[in-house]
Amino acid sequence: MLKVLILPGDGIGQEITTQALKVIDCLNADFNLGMMLEHGLVGGNAYDETGSPLPQATLDAARQCDSILLGAVGGYQWEFLERDLRPERGLLELRAEMDLFSNLRPAILYPQLVNVSTLKEEVVSGLDLMIVRELVAGIYFGKPRGVEIRDGQKYGFNTAAYYELEIRRIGRSAFKIAQLRNKRVCSIDKANVLEVCELWREVMTDVAKDYPNVELTHMYVDNAAMQLVKAPKQFDVMVTSNLFGDVLSDCAAMLTGSIGMLPSASLNQDGFGMYEPIHGSAPDIAGKDIANPLAAILSVAMMLRYSLNQASLACKIEAAVNTVLNKGYRTQDIAIESDLVVGTNKMGDLVVEALV
Ligand SMILES: NC(=O)C1=CN([C@@H]2O[C@H](COP(=O)(O)OP(=O)(O)OC[C@H]3O[C@@H](n4cnc5c(N)ncnc54)[C@H](O)[C@@H]3O)[C@@H](O)[C@H]2O)C=CC1
Ligand SMILES: CC(C)CC(=O)C(=O)O
Ligand SMILES: [Mg+2]
């Protein structure tokens, strides 16, 4: 029996996870998946109920399950809490506690959405790139950090830091993935300015020696942002640090039509994973039944493929998403005038219908 911990979180996290659960229920009922679900709290909801954005019970459950499915965390009402109590801190801690250092963010343009991308068809059609983001170190975790009074005024500071081993292991993840794809890794850094990136580049170059069939190139992050918009199909695998990966993956998401289309996997050394859409809790649209649940549903597909050894069921989910898009159904974020616009719930139902 596969045990999966469900952490819907806040805002649209709740609505989109409900749709992903419909898909899991269907796979359990009709395809004998045998997935047992446990539900837990994380983020703002967890803070409201327990006083912590990552309750001990959630962490204990995370340590005892085979995989985690997470919605999203955060919301306006928690923005003024002390930083360690904020929803985002709960998610960051969960990633760190489970050592989920390898964050895979595939940006794939479904052909049905080519006209929804903000870029021209010839620039984006056929886009299939993989962003490999380091997830448990770098400036999101570096110390010292804080805001204090210096020289009679407020002074804010964070630390961008990587150990060689932290760079080496994310490098290996990227090269291994590239070996299964088009055998090209582009490492993104800012080595012209930052010492930490100088080390990043040096270590990536060294890791590359173990993967002679994969081509390694380097690119500065400012240029990478431009190239993603100018000629995104030049990339196969992009490997980068925590902050740069966070920013570049939101950018890449828009090439596919919407941030509501991008799933992700966050893996540790043993292949244990947490799966979540790359978007946040979208408080601006929460509770309106308009959020796109496809990133959450496609995150279930990634879970089946990367952690649960069920690649054929993963393909079934992806095929079902394709079928629904082929029929012209769209949530608002990926709709153009001629499409059949449906809500979050209906989109979940349509994917389930296409599955069976
Ligand atoms: N992994 C996580 O849980 C993340 C949490 N956050 C948190 O989420 C909250 C909102 O942050 P934002 O910067 O606004 O980022 P966001 O990703 O939540 O939203 C950005 C924009 O994209 C839209 N959007 C996002 N997901 C969508 C979906 N599935 N369907 C249709 N439209 C969608 C939103 O309506 C909004 O206009 C903050 O509290 C932030 O800290 C942000 C990013 C990641
Ligand atoms: C902790 C999250 C709010 C960071 C983020 O934006 C992300 O992981 O995509
Ligand atoms: Mg982000």
Residues 176 and 233 both lie in one domain = yes
- Specify whether the CB–CB gap between 302 and 97 falls below 8 A: no
Q: What is the domain count for the chain?
A: 2
Task: Report which protein residue has its CA nearest ligand 1's atom 24.
Answer: 282
- pLDDT tens, position by position, for the chain (356 residues)? 899 999 999 999 999 999 999 999 999 999 999 999 999 999 999 999 999 999 999 999 999 999 999 999 999 999 999 999 999 999 999 999 999 999 999 999 999 999 999 999 999 999 999 999 999 999 999 999 999 999 999 999 999 999 999 999 999 999 999 999 999 999 999 999 999 999 999 999 999 999 999 999 999 999 999 999 999 999 999 999 999 999 999 999 999 999 999 999 999 999 999 999 999 999 999 999 999 999 999 999 999 999 999 999 999 999 999 999 999 999 999 999 878 999 999 999 999 999 99
- Specify whether the CB–CB gap between 58 and 335 falls below 8 A: no
Amino acid code (one letter) for 62: A
Q: What's residue 338's pLDDT?
A: 78
pTM above 0.95, yes or no: yes
Nearest atom in ligand 2 to 250's CA: 9
Residues 155 and 193 both lie in one domain = yes
How far apart, in whole angstroms, are the C-alpha atoms of residue 83 and residue 284? 22
How far apart, in whole angstroms, are the C-alpha atoms of residue 293 and residue 350? 11
Final residue belonging to a domain, choices 245, 261, 277: 261
Ligand 2 site, residue 197, Cβ cutoff 6 A: no
Residues 153 and 47 both lie in one domain = no
Q: How many angstroms separate the alpha carbon of residue 34 from the centre of ligand 3?
A: 32
- The whole domain housing 147 covers 102-261
Residues 131 and 37 both lie in one domain = no
Looking only at the bridges linking them, the beta strands covering 102-108 and 265-267 are: antiparallel
Separation in Å, CA 306 to CA 94, 104, 175, 264: 19, 10, 16, 11
DSSP 139: G
CATH of the domain at 115: 3.40.718.10
Please name every residue paired with 27 in a beta bridge, in sequence order, or none if there are none: none
How far apart, in whole angstroms, are the C-alpha atoms of residue 276 and residue 265? 7
Which class for 323: exposed (0-12), middle (13-18), buried (19 or more C-beta within 10 A)?
Answer: middle
Final residue belonging to a domain, choices 200, 232, 261: 261
Q: How many angstroms separate the alpha carbon of residue 14 from the centre of ligand 1?
A: 13
Checking ipTM against 0.90, whether it exceeds it is yes
- Specify whether the CB–CB gap between 279 and 259 falls below 8 A: yes
Whether residue 233 lies in the annotated active site: no
